[in-house]
Structure 1
Amino acid sequence: MLNLSLFTEDNRRSLLSTRDGETKLGQQVQLASAAQSIADNLSQAKTNGARFVILGIGEDIGPRANLGRGGATNAFESAMAQFLNLQSNRFLNGKQCLVLGQISTQDLQLDTNSTAEQLREQVSNLDERVIKVLSAVFESGLEPIVIGGGHNNAYGLLMAAKASFKRPLAAVNLDPHSDFRPKEGRHSGNGFSYAAASGALGYYHVLGLHELKNSETTLQQLETFGGHWHSLQQIWVRQELSLETALKQIAKQLNNTQLPVAIELDLDAITNMPSSASTAAGIPLLDALKYVNYIAKHCPSVYLHLAEAAPSCHVAGEAAGHRETGQSISELIYSYINARINAL
């Protein structure tokens, strides 16, 4: 049984603001029916023209298990409130998207008195749910766009993709942290090291890695695996190479693997984005959009994962956090969809 809470017609109506003479994406996107199995819903959506499945994972047990802040629980709602109210027009009509819903996590969330060990056990339980739901999506031939929760969910995504494609993935991750920390129990800082050890990760490149936010142990472990990176300081501070040059190099390396490509993005890479580890020294949102668009267009990408956004962590309050994360994630979704539709 899949632990999945469907995005319903009532959910759509509650978020949608219509206007005479305009058609919004929310009026065009496809929704799943509770009367059908998930497999049948996915198959029907594909028959009706869907190519992308938008899915949320509202949880913060992964960041908390990594001794970070909570709050990464409602990025999906923030994103849909903005995305569904964008215009349906010649650039995107919305019918290509199935808004599926969210993986259920309420029963896994633990209170603030929980130990790291307890939280890490729950992250392992969440992994199983992510793998089951995403396996169904990959098997349908649709491309998932996964929003919210900690970066721990990269592990489940990679494992599900490996099972479906029968081979490991080549992943690129825009993130100040490599998330390749030791396998000390599951949390948001070791999704990729666990995926590597499980055979789901065949190649890994980190873009925007912060030179002083990764331990020497982690860097050595990443090097031993054969991982690569371009640092934040190389591109945006010392300007030793341009973002364009870095993206061309990354795309060439990814394509040389001849593996399906996973596009990962930790929202805490973006300057002042409310997240479990927000930073003042990040990259502009426009550069994050360029990253997603370039890799999705030039590589055989199979999913987009947007992790760690935490609206409640905004310095101006939760309402401001919902606006900023919602708008940012909506733009990232469109950057991916536009690139995939126009892929070379």
Structure 2
Amino acid sequence: MHADRHSMESWQGRVDPEADSPRWHQRIHPLTGESQPGLVLLGFASDEGVRRNHGRVGAVNGPLAMRKALANLAWHRSGPAYDAGDMVCADGDLDAAQARLGESVCALLDAGHRPIVLGGGHEVAFGSWQGLAAHLAGGKSSMGAPRKAAPRIGIINFDAHFDLRDPAQVHSSGTPFAQIAEQCAARDWPFVYACLGVSRASNTRALFQRAAEMQVLVREDREISEASLAALGTDLERFIAGCDAIYLTIDIDVFPACEAPGVSAPAARGVSLALLEPLLERIRDSGKLRLADLAELNPEHDIDHRTARLAARLIHLLSLTG
């Protein structure tokens, strides 16, 4: 497993005197070739896609902020957890950085690990998906090779934006799912996409039309409430049942600006963590979740580490089983 940058220095926190009181910084270890299968955190230090999409840059420092916020949280896992360092997009070559991320994710999955990728801008999604696709296709050597049955990779995106912009001119944080759709078409694979928490005010009519044409499962931010949670959970379970594997991606700008001020595009409305947690638990416990990532944490605009703490709680939630 190769990473462009690796340091365990961010894993610091308090040590409690009571027995059985471990915290993340006491239990996470650097990933090695001998590591037994477990949860692996892999950073994608990039905001090149955000810059191209005319957003507020700063998400390049998201992975470090997430680690620092997670370090002091209480440890409730039974299995091991590792830090695999950061993939870095330092030269503006986003396509190459996404390809390296995909190779690393594929290697982790092949080794039996459960990766959580820490973005970075939402351009992380195209790299994450490439890794899962390569894994399900039988590894890097068989990328593009014909399969007897095309895998149905269900993408569940909690996001204020579709990120289905036309990638013909430029690849950015606004194009990853359109790029994935193109890759699926080229492989004759189904494109199976759910986008939950979409803001009608932040997506053009053209994007809503494109989502409809692609048969995307759409739920707007205003549609997600206490009263609709049970029905939405049923919709999610039906979506998951039709998939071979699930890739979960969370753009932190899906949360209200009061909960997540430190993002590239703060949400005037958003969907609260209290509403999304039970949906995330259903996905986590489905038995089909293979890969997750978090995107768009921008520490430069955070307030009292509020957004980093929210991201850390999401990682903590996804790290628990059953």
Shift in Å, 1:172? 0.8
| C-alpha separation in 2, matches of 1:234 and 1:24 | 37
Could you give the per-residue CA deviations for residues 196-233 of structure 1, whole angstroms, max 9, x where no partner exists?
11017630011111122212222222222221211112
**Which of 194, 205, 214 lines up with 2:179 in the alignment?**
194
Report the equivalent of 2:62.
75
SS in 1 for 2:59: coil
Shift in Å, 1:295? 1.2
Residue identity in the other structure for 1:84 = A
Q: Is this contact kept in 2: 1:73–1:148, CA < 8 A?
A: yes
**Which of 14, 22, 30 lines up with 1:17 in the alignment?**
14
Shift in Å, 1:299? 4.8
| C-alpha separation in 2, matches of 1:290 and 1:70 | 31
| C-alpha separation in 2, matches of 1:143 and 1:7 | 20
Q: Is this contact kept in 1: 2:263–2:297, CA < 8 A?
A: yes
**Which of 115, 119, 136 lines up with 1:148 in the alignment?**
119
Residue identity in the other structure for 2:4 = L
| C-alpha separation in 2, matches of 1:60 and 1:201 | 29
| C-alpha separation in 2, matches of 1:51 and 1:308 | 25
Q: Is this contact kept in 2: 1:52–1:98, CA < 8 A?
A: yes
State the identity as a percent: 21
Residue identity in the other structure for 2:234 = K
Mapping of residues 197-236 of structure 1, within 5 Å: 197-199=182-184, 202-236=191-225
Q: Is this contact kept in 1: 2:10–2:71, CA < 8 A?
A: no
Shift in Å, 1:3? 4.5
| C-alpha separation in 2, matches of 1:223 and 1:280 | 24
Report the equivalent of 2:269.
281
| C-alpha separation in 2, matches of 1:7 and 1:201 | 39
Question: CA 1:336–1:11 in structure 2 vs 1: closer, same or farther (change >3 Å)?
Answer: closer
Report the equivalent of 1:294.
282
Higher alpha-carbon deviation: 216-225 or 189-198: 216-225
Q: Is this contact kept in 1: 2:163–2:175, CA < 8 A?
A: yes
Residue identity in the other structure for 2:130 = M
Report the equivalent of 1:261.
246
Flag the structure with higher helix content.
Answer: 1
**Which of 301, 306, 321 lines up with 1:324 in the alignment?**
306
Report the TM-score when normalising by structure 1: 0.81
Could you give the per-residue CA deviations for residues 71-99 of structure 1, whole angstroms, max 9, x where no partner exists?
112222222222221223xx325x52111
| C-alpha separation in 2, matches of 1:261 and 1:308 | 21
Q: Is this contact kept in 1: 2:159–2:250, CA < 8 A?
A: yes
Residue identity in the other structure for 1:187 = S
**Which of 159, 163, 166 lines up with 1:175 in the alignment?**
159
| C-alpha separation in 2, matches of 1:87 and 1:336 | 14
Report the equivalent of 1:304.
292
| C-alpha separation in 1, matches of 2:287 and 2:194 | 14
Residue identity in the other structure for 1:5 = R
Residue identity in the other structure for 1:210 = S
| C-alpha separation in 2, matches of 1:126 and 1:287 | 34
Shift in Å, 1:11? 4.3
**Structure 1 stretches (4+) deviating beyond 3 angstroms?**
none
Residue identity in the other structure for 2:239 = Q
Q: Is this contact kept in 1: 2:199–2:270, CA < 8 A?
A: no
| C-alpha separation in 2, matches of 1:106 and 1:185 | 18
Q: Is this contact kept in 1: 2:87–2:97, CA < 8 A?
A: no
**Which of 223, 235, 250 lines up with 2:236 in the alignment?**
250
Residue identity in the other structure for 1:205 = A
Higher alpha-carbon deviation: 124-133 or 304-313: 124-133
Report the equivalent of 2:147.
none
Would you say 1:45 and 2:32 are equivalent positions?
Answer: no
Q: Is this contact kept in 1: 2:248–2:293, CA < 8 A?
A: yes
Could you give the per-residue CA deviations for residues 162-194 of structure 1, whole angstroms, max 9, x where no partner exists?
110123511111111111111232101110110
Which blocks of at least 5 consecutive residues in structure 1 are unaligned? 34-39, 109-121
| C-alpha separation in 2, matches of 1:147 and 1:291 | 20
Considering only aligned residues, what root-mean-square deviation do their CA atoms show, in Å? 2.0
Residue identity in the other structure for 1:189 = G
| C-alpha separation in 1, matches of 2:190 and 2:171 | 16
Q: Is this contact kept in 2: 1:162–1:168, CA < 8 A?
A: no
Mapping of residues 156-171 of structure 1, within 5 Å: 156-166=127-137, 167-171=151-155
Which blocks of at least 5 consecutive residues in structure 2 are unaligned? 138-150
Mapping of residues 55-134 of structure 1, within 5 Å: 55-88=42-75, 91-92=76-77, 95-108=79-92, 122-134=93-105
Residue identity in the other structure for 1:324 = R
Q: Is this contact kept in 2: 1:179–1:191, CA < 8 A?
A: yes
| C-alpha separation in 2, matches of 1:106 and 1:275 | 20
Q: Is this contact kept in 2: 1:53–1:145, CA < 8 A?
A: yes
